[in-house]
Structure 1
Amino acid sequence: MLKLYLEFRVNKYENFEKLRKMFYSLKESKKNNSIDYQDSKWKNFYDEELLKNFWWPTDDELIEYWKLYESIPINQRYNDKRLFKEWEFSSMLEAIACGEYQLDSCEIIKGNIGRLKFMTWSWPYEGAGSLRALIESFGLEIIKDEV
């Protein structure tokens, strides 16, 4: 297994503690293949303000999004800023659940610097976008990565 990490600046220790608690809950659930990404318990790790970091589209917004998506030529979709949205909450959890990696630790390593460590099961793997989203959803700034 390849050991990788994301380092981040902790600007609010309270938010780091929320991230850390959620991380270890996700780690245990992932180990048991039991992350139910539609379970509302995951929202309990967030306050109302932090939940605003996610995209919560209405049914109409989703319909409009997919219409736009389909209307854009395939070779332009990944660069069209109209398609850039924040992560949906359940999509982030689903990506973590399906990620080809094992969650390792989430701790303060020095002063106000935290590190989230994980180990890939294969290489190449699908990336750490969902783990980045997890960290950033708690208002923490990623400052270094080894992914």
Structure 2
Amino acid sequence: MKQIVGVADMKVSNKKTESIITYALGSCIGLIVYDPVVKVGGILHYMLPESSIDKEKAAARPYMFADSGIPRLFKSAYKLGAVKQRMKVYVAGGAEILDQKGFFNIGKRNYMALKKMFFKNKMMIDKQNVGGNTNRTVRIEIATGDVYIKTSGSKEVKV
């Protein structure tokens, strides 16, 4: 079964028959976490780095922002038995799609917000596919922890 993560959304699962996928990561970031021991995985698809720009929206849609979505992703995985020290982390997205000249740098800022939080919490990124100017789709298989990525105009490949 496939769970779809929309924009400003998150899904976490421990069901070995499931995969979780998020489509069309442009400047957004897809953060994928997986604990191989308990086979818990999840994806967060966030749009913006900081919830402080719109407190009301952040309260209604916490997965829209890095600073409010990332902690919720980890806490949801922990509730299913995941342990921080065992977690594998994959990051995709952070491209400059509509902003090719880099005026707003949303993709870069989204990625930097994640890096800053990870540094503060002593988390490492295992693999990543970020930047550039192509959309990405990313999927994780819960049974194996295998992560697959597809960029515009190419076939899906295992990370």
TM-score (norm 2): 0.27
TM-score (norm 1): 0.29
More strand by share: 2
The structure with more radius of gyration = 1
More helix by share: 1
Pick 1 or 2: higher relative contact order, CA cutoff 8 A, min separation 6. Answer: 1
